[in-house]
Amino acid sequence: MNVATPFTLDYGQGTFETSVFQLLQWKHALKLEKLGMTMSRGRKVSTHLRKLMGLKRSASIDYLLTWVESVLEQIETGDTE
């Protein structure tokens, strides 16, 4: 699978289109955000993901990080397509 090829990702409350590259970006940005490093401009990645997935503000960065890592693991093993 090409990392830039978009695919539809199903999440409990709906679906959205993303790519493996975007998931990798989210993973590393969430790790940095967890350490307290953020970009000076724009929204935080955790805020963006919460809005995209329809989660409440109380959803933790750890939850989002484990979710992104599990999706990447499923893609790597070929469980999803």
Give the per-residue pLDDT at 73.
92
Number of domains in the chain: 1
- Which two tokens mark 53? 């997935």
13 located within any domain: yes
1 located within any domain: no
15 located within any domain: yes
Residue-wise pLDDT tens digits, 11-31: 777 888 889 999 999 999 999
63 located within any domain: yes
pTM for the full predicted model? 0.82
DSSP 30: H
Radius of gyration, CA atoms only, the chain: 13
Domain with 26, as residue range(s), is 7-77
Cα separation of 22 and 72, whole Å?
Answer: 11
42 located within any domain: yes
Give the per-residue pLDDT at 14.
80
